[in-house]
Chains A and B, each alone.
Chain A
Amino acid sequence: MNSPATGARRLPLDYDLTLDCIHCGLCLNSCPTYRESGRESEGPRGRIHLMRALGEGRLEPDTDCVQALDSCLVCRNCETVCPAGVQFGALMESARNQLPAPGLVPRFLRWLGFRVVLPNRRVLALLAGVVRLAQTLHLPRLMAPLLGSRGATLASMPVFPPADQRRSLPSISPSTSESLETVTMLEGCIQRQLFGTVNRATAQTLNALGADVLTPADHACCGALHAHNGDLEEARQLAQETIQAFEAIDGSAPLPIVVNSAGCGAHMSEYPRLFADDPDWLARANAFSERVTDFSKFVAQPDRARRLQAQFKAGPERKLAWDDPCHLCHGQEISAEPRNLLDLIPAAKRVELASSQSCCGSAGIHALLHPEESNALLDAKIEEFQASGAELLVTANPGCQMHWQAGFQRANLKVQTQHLAETIADSLGRESPGGSPTSSPTKS
């Protein structure tokens, strides 16, 4: 059975996962890259077909094939509509693990980012400081023209906030009302450096509903970006470090792990699949992933939501729109909770965007590697956002937040982008209100 037709090497990707697809094509229209290009090789079914052929040795992983797989956002929208239950995200990760990265520059950037910067808390903090300094001196804008097409990416790079916003949370943030429970919380890598305000707003919200919040002192990165891009070795290493870090701060009983970044949460709740061949770590990963809970899901639990609602303050009405992070709505099947929470806020008037569950183009490092395609996806969404009359865009993932901010800036729109936790914290009376840093760094 399944003898290869050509002499090509069979790629040891997770071949069995490709067999779940029966080629019905119901996924096609859910795929942002297929809709944009009309190319079946850039739709889920076509990509699975190519992966199956790679696994059968019918196909060489040459440039064209690699590009078709590489252009995937891994937004997992196709999983939401797949009747056969294909685990597309897992399949793509295993395929990418076997494929050569296209081109030298992306390969170098990936090595630098994945192996040097993200896994090391201090290197990342140092880099953030350096970028912050450069941005204060307007260096990126001055350098952009020298870099050709990549310069545009540099110029629209997110603005790193001042040092006081980049500091970590204390190891314990005590409840601000009657103390009812203890939880742990993931600060993340990018989130901590770029959106420290989001982490503070998350802790403040949890504190307000009666939770003491613990954070591990020396945790760097959960490894989600690594896995999505096929660096499964480093992903495994980071998963082990993450599990250890959280096990270390547990009290007598394991505590819930609240995650405010959709990409991290989706990945952490799927840790077990990284350890299929390692029974000891598999057991630990299973126990760990069961504790992972998204911020919105945790807070929307009726008792907690009620406690929170009682503390909401009235304010001037704000029209806002919720944009589902893909790894929340498709990766974790959470879409009602954030909407319900926003609807509890007295000052918030929520409008629904038809495209809210379609990828904004951020997609991990996709926006860095494929800026044009990525911006095209966002521009269509910005158009819909503008037509809706909303003045605030709420989401729940650092990549999405960054991408929307850059998009609004590119379109010269004075629109705020917030994490759900910030919107909630604002209505609780956050001390330093306002969205994440869209303003020029020189003013702060």
Chain B
Amino acid sequence: MTEAWINELRNIVGPRNVITGSDSLAWESDGFSLVRGQGIAIVLPLDTSETVRVMQLLAKEGVPLVPRGAGTGLTGGASPVQGGVTVGTARMRRIFGIDPIERTAHVQAGVVNSDLSLAAKPHGLFYAPDPSSQAACTLGGNVANNSGGPHCFMHGATTRHVRGLKLVDAQGEILDLLTSHADPAGLDLVGLISGSEGMFGVVTEINFRLEVLPEEIQTIIAVFSSLDAACDCVSEAIAAHIEASAIEILDKLTITAVEDSVFAAGYPRGAEAVLLVEAEGGALEVQETIDLVLQLAKKHEAIETRRASDGAERARLWAGRKGAFGAMGRVAPDLYVADVVAPRTRLREIVHLAVEIAAERNLRLGNVFHAGDGNLHPNIAYDRRDEDEVRRVLEAGRLIMEACIERGGSLTGEHGVGLEKMTHMCDLFDDDDLSVMHRVRDALDPKRRMNPTKVLPLRACREVRNAGLPLSPMASPEGKL
């Protein structure tokens, strides 16, 4: 039976683009390597029409599936734990066109984030959301997770840049919302689909808003002798309504890892914290912003402040920041990248708490975060072969998340819910809220074949809470579920 529809898939996309052999192990997890799963096949369609035929076939056969971009997500959202089929967009790499007058771009979902800015540059434009994985992650994946990035402090996360899109739903029907207009007519279905983590279908094409390359960009780093001082400096800058485009903090362990890597950026080794601030816009306003940062850095006793002297140095500073997750591979074989949101006035308190929680459990914690947005990434280095360490890591992750929610924060800033945080949805919503979400999901995918077992807990919150740690059964070294 299975063999028959697999062959049919091969007819649709070509035999090389259906993977069923031992090499399919390469897709067993995404950037969240604790969760792994093996489905029946991986399918790589080339465009919308192939995707339609694939999805119609899978609907006919009742096969569950997970959409996947480059598999750089950090919550297990693109892992094939549901079995079935992985529908990947990695071959959909066409940029159909850039309209320099409308300042929009029409792209396929598998276009790599940084490739869009590269293509827009000759027109004096760029695509603003810049997740750290932007050199590899796909724009379709960005839409699914409503991805952020350092510069989303000023420009907002992905949804604010999606003008229109084309979705192939679970039944293989095209929902064509591919407009380039700013305001949707009728219900805002584009808004609904953005950030839906693959629950409504596969997004195959997107129309994005592009931004004008700023006249002036300035980047400064301020070095602090404590993480507290750096956090306080940011909290005060926020209170002073700072108009920066990005505000980032890196701590000592992260700085060391980055400086040891190919992305060595010139962050001073040994410093307890580095604050990286960028301002863009007209020369005068940029100067005002930078002056404000310098003044606050001085007030909070920064040891050193430095301005990037040219574009090359600025690029180095950012490459270092964006390579920070990967650089932590120098510390241990695996990395747990937490993604939580804290009220921006309480940065110091939450960061403190994260440090304490990790220390109590004898874990190596590196902090690198979008301080301006209050979006924290406590990164815990570990070895997944050590079962007890895995347990401690997940426990620490959970406690940090709960602490943020208690203080009015949120459980995800930009990585999505995926599998990792599914049960924690109950910390933020009650059964009534979740049932509304389920009803929306059922309207678009009544059989719940799209990325099932993720995002929305299937059981009532009371049961979910009693079930304990969601990930412990999946965290065996073999990744067996």
Contacts and interface: CB of A to CB of B under 8 A. Distances in A.
Contact of B324 (A59, A64, A83): A83
Given A25-B71, A38-B44, A46-B26, A84 B261 contact: yes
A85 B260 contact: yes
Contacts of A19: 333, 383
A38 B136 contact: no
A25 B480 CA distance: 22
A41 B386 contact: no
Nearest to A83: B326
A72 to B, nearest CB: 12
Given A40-B71, A50-B23, A59-B25, A26 B323 contact: yes
A26 B325 CA distance: 10
A1 B133 contact: no
A146 interface: no
B21 to A, nearest CB: 3
Contacts of A411: none
Interface in A46-94: 46-47, 49-50, 53, 58-60, 62-65, 67-68, 79-86
B172 interface: no
Contacts of A22: 33, 325-326, 328-329, 333-335
B306 interface: no
B263 A64 contact: no
B136 A85 contact: no
B19 interface: yes
A414 interface: no
Given A20-B329, A46-B26, A26 B135 contact: yes
Contact of A83 (B29, B70, B327): B327
A19 B334 CA distance: 8
A49 B93 CA distance: 24
Nearest to A80: B262
Interface in B39-94: 44, 70-72, 88, 90-91, 93
A19 B385 CA distance: 11
Contacts of B257: 83
Contacts of B326: 22, 24, 26, 82-84
B459 interface: no
Contacts of A1: 385-386, 477
A23 B33 CA distance: 7
Given A27-B136, A50-B25, A53-B25, A40 B90 contact: yes
A68 B26 contact: yes
Contacts of A67: 23
B90 A38 contact: yes
A37 B91 CA distance: 7
Nearest to A25: B72
Interface in A1-38: 1-5, 19-30, 34-35, 37-38
A3 B25 contact: no
Contacts of A62: 21-22
A164 B477 CA distance: 62
B352 interface: no
A20 B21 contact: no
A83 B265 CA distance: 12
B101 to A, nearest CB: 25
B137 interface: yes
B123 interface: no
Contacts of B258: 83
A85 B114 CA distance: 22
Contact of B19 (A23, A39, A45): A39
Contacts of B16: 37
A170 B135 CA distance: 49
B23 A5 contact: no
A324 B59 CA distance: 48
Interface residues of A, number: 48
B19 A41 contact: yes
Among the interface residues B22, B31, B324, B328, which one has the most CB atoms of the partner chain A within 10 A?
Answer: B22
A278 B305 CA distance: 50
B132 to A, nearest CB: 8
Contact of A58 (B136, B263, B478): B478
Given A3-B477, A49-B26, A84-B261, A25 B133 contact: yes
A49 B335 CA distance: 15
Interface in B252-278: 257-258, 260-263
A59 B386 CA distance: 21
Given A59-B22, A64-B23, A65-B22, A26 B334 contact: no
Contacts of B334: 22-23
Contacts of B24: 41
Contacts of B91: 37-38
Among the interface residues A5, A39, A47, A81, which one has the most CB atoms of the partner chain B within 10 A?
Answer: A39
A40 B86 CA distance: 12
B230 interface: no
B26 A85 contact: no
A78 to B, nearest CB: 11
A1 B333 CA distance: 14
A25 B23 contact: no
Among the interface residues A22, A27, A80, which one has the most CB atoms of the partner chain B within 10 A?
Answer: A22
Among the interface residues A26, A30, A79, A86, which one has the most CB atoms of the partner chain B within 10 A?
Answer: A26
B264 to A, nearest CB: 10
B70 A64 contact: no
B110 interface: yes
B330 interface: yes
Contact of A39 (B44, B112, B325, B477): B44
Given A22-B328, A25-B31, A29-B136, A39 B22 contact: no
B27 interface: yes
Interface string A308-348: 00000000000000000000000000000000000000000
Given A19-B333, A24-B72, A39-B19, A81 B328 contact: no
Given A81-B135, A81-B262, A50 B26 contact: yes
A83 B261 contact: yes
Contacts of A82: 262, 326
Interface in B378-418: 383, 385-386
12 contacts: A22-B33, A24-B325, A24-B329, A25-B136, A40-B90, A45-B26, A46-B27, A64-B21, A64-B22, A83-B262, A84-B327, A85-B261
Interface of B: 16-17, 19, 21-29, 31, 33, 44, 70-72, 88, 90-91, 93, 110, 112, 114-115, 133, 135-137, 257-258, 260-263, 323-330, 333-335, 383, 385-386, 477-478, 480
Given A39-B26, A50-B23, A79-B262, 10 more contacts: A26-B72, A38-B44, A38-B90, A41-B23, A59-B22, A60-B22, A67-B23, A81-B262, A83-B263, A84-B328
Among all A-B residue pairs, the 4 with the closest Cβ atoms: A84-B329, A64-B21, A83-B326, A46-B26
